[in-house]
Amino acid sequence: MTKDLLIGQTLRFSGSPFEIDWSEAAHWSSRGGVLVEHGRIVDIGDADDLRAAHPTAKVHDYGSSLISAGFVDAHMHYPQTGIIASWGKQLIDWLNTYTFPEESRFGDLAYASDVAGRTLDLALAHGTTTLTSFCTIHPESVDAFFTEAETRNMAVIAGKTCMDRNAPDTLRDTAQTAYDQSKQLLEKWHAKGRANYAITPRFSPTSTPEQLEALGALWAEHPSCLMQTHLSEQLPEIAWVQSLFPNARDYLDTYEAFGLLGPRGLYGHSIHLTDREKARLAEVDASLVHCPTSNTFIGSGLFDLMGLSAQGLRIGLATDTGGGSSFSMLRVMAATYEIAQLRGVAVHPAQLIWLATEGSARALHMSGEIGHLGIGAAADLCVIDLASTPLIAQRSSRAETPWDALFPTIMMGDDRAIVSTWVAGREISTRR
């Protein structure tokens, strides 16, 4: 097989810029190269040195564009692609007005496959190479997503969303069918190719204690799986949880009591956490997923990125499509910056792009495999034009450092900035 050599500016990380100074964690080369073979990165370094060492490699010269690890979206809902950017609702009304009617359609495999394919292609066009998605209660929705991802050779995480109360009849299962169908889907898809399964209770209000207990038991039987859900997204939601679980110490306890708190747990949003919840999440090494465009779009609140990072929590970044109003992880990084500013902190560009790549991979327990520009990692890459529009170009032309050149694209970039997306060593989306 022919080796591929990608040439351009390169950005890689040797550590977390939240744990060590960003200047030590980030490594930027103005003329770097990434050598790809058999779907993996086999070398990285100076472009001229790699070119001389591998004269038969097929060269892809991207000029001054930046070669990065592909973006990793750690929390989204592919069935909500069709209702993205719907007007005027907060969480509970959003679900009842937009989400539940749309999700009721996903028992139709053809419909689910069409939306899944469109979702994956939109993500790739925005430089995102891994999605972590909620499906619907229908097994067909899970099969559709994993099948479409398999045709693109994408690394994805997904699971059947389980709900047995506070949802329409068309979207309710039972404690037993949630367990049985999740187990069947898990055995069919988990760790098959690039697919990984996540046990998926939507959130406590739509699952009875019996269903939460059944899913906790399933997770205990299959601890290599991830478990994804929602936690403390909005204040009215928290009040609703308290009314449904009057004996729970807090929202997190509604998961903890049923075996749904653990190191491979992904807790989306996690905005309004109590001190006890923060301490327990840190103690078990759970992952939180920050969804800033969603949090602003439906008015949820301001995630405490720096405070939770200081407590040692794993934090990933996500679009939360369709509550989030964009597929672009660049836009998500911009919203992360804006929310942190409202909390009095200016997050460095190195920290932002780390969250969208290495940080999300770490939250998903896939460090070194995805979201990583380093030898041995999957060659899931995106190439970013740092002058994709006239407005961005005139600002980046004034840059005195690479970070000055990158930051305008983070704040103002979109899919026009994505020159090329590579998945498992193959260029799968390109604007060249």
Q: What is the CATH number of the domain that holds 26?
A: 2.30.40.10
Q: Give the end of a domain, one of 307, 327, 347.
A: 327
Domain assignment present for 353: no
Nearest Cα to Cα of residue 265 among 205, 305, 301, 215: 215
Domain assignment present for 354: no
Q: Which domain holds residue 51?
A: 4-70+371-430
Distance between CA atoms of residues 255 and 381, nearest Å: 36
Domain assignment present for 106: yes
Do 188 and 237 share a domain, yes or no? yes
Do 190 and 296 share a domain, yes or no? yes
Residue 230: exposed, middle, or buried by beta-carbon count in 10 A (0-12, 13-18, 19+)? Answer: buried
Domain assignment present for 34: yes
pLDDT value, residue 398 = 96
Do 219 and 122 share a domain, yes or no? yes
**CA distances, 46 to each of 27, 33, 55, 385, 402 (Å):** 12, 6, 14, 20, 17
Do 303 and 379 share a domain, yes or no? no
C-alpha 310 chain-centroid distance: 21
Domain assignment present for 332: no
pLDDT value, residue 432 = 64
Nearest Cα to Cα of residue 308 among 338, 343, 333, 262: 343
**CB–CB of 386/65 below 8 Å?**
yes
Do 65 and 75 share a domain, yes or no? no
Helix residue spans in 128-174 (DSSP H): 139-152
Domain assignment present for 333: no
Packing angle, helices 139-152 and 109-125, rounded to 10: 40
pLDDT value, residue 1 = 67
Do 57 and 88 share a domain, yes or no? no
Count CB atoms within 10 A of the CB of residue 144.
Answer: 27
Domain assignment present for 179: yes
Q: Give the end of a domain, one of 296, 311, 327.
A: 327
Residue 298 tokens read as 């439906």
Do 11 and 75 share a domain, yes or no? no
Q: Give the end of a domain, one of 271, 294, 327.
A: 327
Do 44 and 82 share a domain, yes or no? no
Do 127 and 251 share a domain, yes or no? yes
Radius of gyration (C-alpha) of the chain in whole angstroms: 21
**Residues contacting residue 42 through CB under 8 Å, at least 6 positions apart:** 3, 35, 36, 375
Is the CA virtual torsion 64, 69, 70, 71 positive or negative?
negative
pLDDT value, residue 95 = 86
Do 130 and 276 share a domain, yes or no? yes
pLDDT value, residue 87 = 86
Distance between CA atoms of residues 387 and 421, nearest Å: 17
**CA distances, 198 to each of 75, 162, 229, 233, 283 (Å):** 11, 11, 9, 20, 21
Which pTM value belongs to this model?
0.97
Q: What is the CATH number of the domain that holds 270?
A: 3.20.20.140
Do 18 and 117 share a domain, yes or no? no
Residue 287 tokens read as 């992952």
pLDDT value, residue 257 = 98
pLDDT tens series, the chain, 432 aa: 689 999 999 999 999 999 999 999 999 999 999 999 999 999 999 999 999 999 999 999 999 999 999 999 999 999 999 999 988 778 788 788 989 999 999 999 999 999 999 999 999 999 999 999 999 999 999 999 999 999 999 999 999 999 999 999 999 999 999 999 999 999 999 999 999 999 999 999 999 999 999 999 999 999 999 999 999 999 999 999 999 999 999 999 999 999 999 999 999 999 999 999 999 999 999 999 999 999 999 899 999 999 999 999 999 999 999 888 999 999 999 999 999 999 999 999 999 999 999 999 999 999 999 999 999 999 999 999 999 999 999 999 999 999 999 999 999 999 999 999 999 999 997 776
Instruction: Report the number of distinct structural domains present in the chain.
Output: 2
Do 76 and 107 share a domain, yes or no? yes
Domain assignment present for 350: no
